[in-house]
Structure 1
Amino acid sequence: MWRSRGTRKGRKARTGRRPAGLGAVALAAAGLLTVSGTCTSSAQDGAAAAPAGRNGGLSGAAACPDTKGFTCATLTVPLDHRGGVPGTLGLKVAMADNVKAPKGVLLFLTGGPGEPGVPFVERLSDRLSPVLKDYRLVLIDQRGTGPNALPCPELQLQMGSSDLTPPTARAVTDCAAAIGPQRRFYSTTDTVADLELLRKALGVRKVTLDGVSYGTYTAERYALAHPQRVTRLVLDSVVPQTGYDPMDRAALRAAPRVLTAACRATGCTTDPAADLAEVVRRYGLGVDVIDALTTWEFVDPDYAAMIDALHRAAGGDPGMLRALIAGARQGGAMSAEELSQGLHAATLCLDGRYPWGSSDTPVAGRRQALEKAGAKLTSADYGPFDAATATGLGSMLACLHWPRTPVPPLPPQHRKLPGVPVLLLGGDRDLSTPLEWLYDQKRLTPRAQVVVVPGAAHSVQSRAGNGRQAVFDFLLGRRSGASEG
């Protein structure tokens, strides 16, 4: 989502006519490359933690390896918050040691669904250092991520770090079978309940939440469920609380705007919007192209190589474009511990609403409902793409084949967020979570401050210095020089 959308995630990619390994560059650009600080100790901090093994308790607290000033522990939560199925999960947590920070806890929520939090503690503590005298930074490996990643080897191999690469039906059904009936306990509703137990275990009345991509959706859902427990919200690369569109129509329509703006900024002389439409018409590569574009923003928010490749393909030479698409797929390889595609599918299928209904809808008849919905689409829905693109994206197809699974109740989606200060932060080059989503959320946010960073793509505070400054000013209650774009 969320694109992972999701953080939509930190994606990997490759560039050039011949694939050259730039997967690490993509993640470094997203600010989410370092993997360190894994919690391994079994010592318990009796002053701050609940008794080991009790639901909601923190146990095994000890200094985080290689990360000075942070304590790592395990949060024990029930598998089933509704109490019908026994069992617990141990979620890794990293906490700054400044327990008495004057502005309280800053809980940072990563993206996906599927990214852990604890491996990024060192990098985020560096990026957020200007506010960490005032805040106690806390990160958590959400259920189904990191050491608890849901094992789906073939789905992981096929999709890597992508939301949009179409998986095979067999990979999806094998994944659901491997997780088993417990797959119904990996919705955002369950994660929100885990976060409330974390707040209680930390011994604080309220928390400030900073979410990126899917992390924004989680933060919104927490604020809706526990409005009295939130001090303020940073929502960076916004997924609206109403949920994501599995046809991704906002991104499809936004692609011409984003590519045209990038072209103008770099002085290119082509018409990327016209080239994109011609490529989709001539080659039928809509899914491949939007997948590659939403990968490319992590490598180059100017999309220079993609714009060049689209122009060549529109002129009859698709070789460079096909090479970039293949390279982006190859470079998107990612382990389940880095971004769990099993958790990604389980959560999206439980949270999402599809042309056939929900994951509780019988599998028979889903394909017919999808085809019927696709037949009703027009260019006003998908812009320069086509109906086959809107109905053929990877997260849509994963949930098309996901076995019937009970869905937890969703909160009222159109209830406004609580009246706390909220920063809505976006980049005008973001296709993973396009600006249209940010403005959708603004309508449901009474105290919204909007900052749009020109030239920035996904995960703004990780990649754009002026985006980070807007976050610092907001968290510290200072007047910001940044304004609505």
Structure 2
Amino acid sequence: MPAAAPAGRSGGLSGAAACPGVEGFTCATLTVPLDHSGGTPGRLGLKVAMADNVRAPKGVLLFLTGGPGQPGVPFVQGLSRKLAPVLKDYRLVMIDQRGTGAGALQCPRLQQEMGSSDLTPPTARAVTDCAAAIGGDRRFYGTTDTVGDLELLRRALGVRRMTLDGVSYGTYTAERYALAHPGHVARLVLDSVVPQTGYDPMDRAAMRAAPRVLTAACRATGCTTDPAADLAEVVERYRDGADVLDALTTWEFVDPDYAAMIDALHRAANGDPGPLQGLIAGVRQGGAATAEELSQGLHASTLCLDGRYPWGRADAPVAGRRAALEKAGARLTPADYGPFDPATATGLGSMLSCLYWPRTPVRPLPSPHRRLPGVPVLLLGGDRDLSTPLEWLHDQQRLTPRAKVVVVPGAAHSVQNRAADDRGRQAVYDFLLGR
């Protein structure tokens, strides 16, 4: 269970003090209701870090991390360096979204099995133990609940509008906030886009994008193999598509050129799977994360509440889910999964977590097909990204009236934070400063 909030009215900031070790920032606690409808009592205390330039001429820049499950406050120092060129004009604010950071939902077995991965398949026992540990409160950890928290944060900050900068799943949160509160958004930066229509638990866009990404990386580095053909051969020969896709979407954080992965795929396609198996094992080991770093309990709670699955939503009976999933897998064609196979699409961790998740009440979701409000929006992506492939960015572009699109060649996930090329960061600076 998450820690109870300190005394104080809901929506208020309390306990303000200098952020430890971070000059120029004040940390405080935002008290929010567990249930924004008021039907269930309880409050949560969410940590917030706020730059001290309260009178910044362009107002608040709220930076939203992803996962879902990542905190925000621990990253404020690093982000303040990345965003330094705009922080005379903006007041940077970051928040530990509900269920993250110091208030992380704790699920030890699921945390151990999945670490920081979206796609590592968990055991049913780890998932059901996690849901039982969170209890009935798990219905209050969807993105709709976080959007309610962000609106209380805006009021507590005393501003009429905010600029939101989201990365990865933080883009989805920013989009959902903009749809719910269009009059309170000044600008949006959406980096490594999850479209407002939602995350696909079959990850079909990533499966289809893998040949494009690997081929581009191969050409850029002068490799002499055919990674797209090697990938198809490996999946067909070893039937390990879920493990391979998991490793690929993690490897982009290690090397957006995928050099070791391309070589290992070629060796495996020619009968030597040892190097590839070693990379897969290394990715699993290196992806270990504590709940405070990325809460898998929050990750599962949010995805299962937000998502639409072959069986419906989280309130669908558990008994019929497996049959619905198998039926959906049988309907897939190669156009859906590219060089992978139906077993990959139906066997990913994001799918299995919610297959095993106990039946949970859900609330209606807003229409995912409404266009974003007509404020300036920057859609930013890297052409080597498999976690949030460019196809998702273009899906969101169709629902964004005032979209500026910047694609950084050779960059993978989280362009502002990780790209070696400065073009993406410069695009953010120019956009935020109105150049």
Match in the other structure for 2:247: 292
Q: Does 1:418 align with 2:367?
A: no
Measured in 2, the distance between the counterparts of 1:462 and 1:150 equals: 26
Deviation at 1:409, TM superposition (A): 1.7
Q: 221, 235, 239: which one pairs with 1:266?
A: 221
Q: Which residue of 1 aligns with 2:276?
A: 321
SS at match of 1:59: strand
Question: How much has 1:463 moved relative to structure 2?
Answer: 1.8
Match of 1:472?
429
Letter paired with 2:197: T
Shift of 1:412: 1.1
Which structure carries more helix by proportion?
Answer: 2
Question: Which letter maps to 2:208?
Answer: R
1:146 counterpart residue number: 101
Report how many aligned residue pairs link the two structures. Answer: 428
Distance in 1 between residues matched to 2:170 and 2:22, nearest whole Å:
23
TM-score, with length taken from structure 1: 0.88
Q: Write out per-residue CA displacement over residues 120-145 of structure 1, whole angstroms, 9 at most, x where no aligned residue.
A: 01100111000000000000000000
- Structure 2 unaligned residues grouped into runs of 5+: 1-5
Q: Summarize deviations over 1:253-294 as a string: whole Å, max 9, x none.
A: 000000000000000000000000000000001000000000
Residues of 2 paired with 1:311 and 1:326: CA distance? 18
Instruction: Please list the CA deviations of residues 374-429 of structure 1 after superposition, one character each: whole Å capped at 9, or x if unmatched.
Output: 00111000000000000000010000000000112211110000000000000000
- Could you report, residue by residue, the CA deviation over 1:55-96 in whole angstroms, capped at 9, with x for unpaired residues? 000000010010000000000000000111101000000000
Query: 1:135 aligns to what?
Result: 90
Deviation track 1:98-128 (CA, whole Å, cap 9, x = no partner) reads: 0000000000000000000000011001110
Normalised to the residue count of structure 2, the TM-score between the two structures is 0.98
- Taking the aligned partners of 1:87 and 1:359, their CA distance within structure 2 comes to 23
Secondary structure of the 1:298 match is: helix
The DSSP-based 3-state class of the residue aligned with 1:297 is helix
Q: Distance in 1 between matches of 2:37 and 2:364?
A: 11
Q: Give the one of 187, 207, 228 matched to 1:252.
A: 207
Aligned equivalent of 1:113: 68
Amino acid at match of 1:396: M
**Is 1:381 aligned to residue 336 of structure 2?**
yes
Q: Is 1:171–2:120 an aligned residue pair?
A: no
Aligned 1:70-469 pairs, distance under 5 A = 70-464=25-419, 465-469=422-426
User: What amino acid sits opposite 1:477 in the alignment?
Assistant: G
CA distance in 1, matches of 2:77, 2:399: 34
In 2, Cα distance between the equivalents of 1:326 and 1:349?
27
2:46 aligned counterpart, secondary structure? strand
In 2, the alpha carbon distance for the partners of 1:299 and 1:472 equals: 26
* Paired letter, 1:424: L
Cα distance per residue 1:25-73 (max 9 Å; x no partner): xxxxxxxxxxxxxxxxx9xxxxxxxxx6100000000100100000000
Alignment partner for residue 61 of structure 1, among 1, 13, 16? Answer: 16
* Matches of 1:203 and 1:166, distance apart in 2: 44
Counterpart Cα distance in 2 of 1:412 and 1:363:
25
Deviations 1:418-446 (A, max 9, x none): 00000000000000000000000000000
- Give the whole-Å Cα distance in 2 for the aligned partners of 1:121 and 1:370: 41
Question: How far apart, CA to CA, are the structure 1 residues paired with 2:18 and 2:278?
Answer: 46
Shift of 1:448: 0.1
Aligned to 2:3: none
After TM superposition, the structure 1 = structure 2 runs for residues 40-51 of structure 1, keeping only pairs within 5 Å, are: none
Query: Alpha-carbon deviations, 1:315-335, whole Å to 9, x = none?
Result: 000000000000000111000
* Cα-to-partner distance string for 1:221-261 (whole Å, 9 max, x where unaligned): 00000000000000000000000110000000000000000
- Counterpart in the other structure of 1:49: none
Shift of 1:466: 1.3
In structure 2, what residue type is equivalent to 1:324? L
**Match of 1:4?**
none
- Secondary structure (helix, strand or coil) at the match of 1:461 reads helix
Tell me by how many angstroms 1:157 deviates.
0.1
In structure 1, the residue corresponding to 2:318 is in which secondary structure? coil
Q: 2: CA distance between counterparts of 1:352 and 1:238?
A: 16
- Partner Cα separation in structure 2 for residue 380 and residue 432 of structure 1: 19
Stretches of 4+ aligned residues off by more than 2 angstroms? none
Letter in 2 for 1:414: H
Q: Distance in 2 between matches of 1:260 and 1:309?
A: 14
- Corresponding residue SS for 2:197: coil
Percent identical pairs in the alignment equals 85
